[in-house]
């Protein structure tokens, strides 16, 4: 059974640029959630995808967007990067009837300069 994988591991961007982060869900999991974790804080929910549709969204601006593909993998896109976007971005997958039991990837560390 393959766990959740994310790429890249680390990324450095400058303010105003755009970034795409990728996530492959655990085998058989068709629900993917994305979280942002600032240093020293708990993860904050960005949005969730189920069957290629956004299923719910947290308190993040529209410049945070996502996609889910037919193989359940997912992308997080962030436009017009700001310094405060520097964080660990976590992807988690789950089964739709067990959405509270989420399996997290190792995260992508984004640094915005």
Partner 1 sequence: DAKTTQPTSMDCAEGRAANLPCNHSTISGNEYVYWYRQIHSQGPQYIIHGLKNNETNEMASLIITEDRKSSTLILPHATLRDTAVYYCIVRHDYKLSFGAGTTVTVRA
Calpha distance 68→56 (Å, rounded): 13
Pick between residue 38 and residue 80 the one whose CB is nearest to partner 1: 38
- Please give the structure tokens belonging to residue 47: 């949005």
Q: Tell me the closest approach of the beta carbon of residue 61 to partner 1, in angstroms.
A: 17
Other residues' Cβ atoms within 10 Å of the Cβ of residue 86: 17
Q: Tell me the closest approach of the beta carbon of residue 39 to partner 1, in angstroms.
A: 12
Pick between residue 24 and residue 48 the one whose CB is nearest to partner 1: 48
Q: Which residues bind partner 1 (CB under 8 A)?
A: 4, 33, 35, 41-45, 48, 55-56, 58, 90, 92, 99-107
- Peptide bond before residue 8 is cis, with ω within 30 degrees of 0: yes
């Amino acid at each position: 059974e393959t766990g959740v994988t994310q790429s890249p591991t680390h990324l450095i961007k400058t303010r105003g640029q755009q970034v795409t982060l990728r996530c492959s869900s655990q085998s058989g999991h068709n629900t993917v959630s994305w979280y942002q974790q600032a240093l020293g804080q708990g993860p904050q929910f960005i949005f969730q995808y189920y069957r290629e549709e956004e299923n719910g969204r947290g308190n993040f601006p529209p410049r945070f967007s996502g996609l889910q593909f037919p193989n359940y993998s997912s992308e997080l896109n962030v436009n017009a990067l700001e310094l405060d976007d520097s964080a660990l971005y976590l992807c988690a997958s789950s089964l739709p009837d067990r959405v509270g039991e989420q399996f997290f990837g190792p995260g992508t560390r984004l640094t915005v300069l």
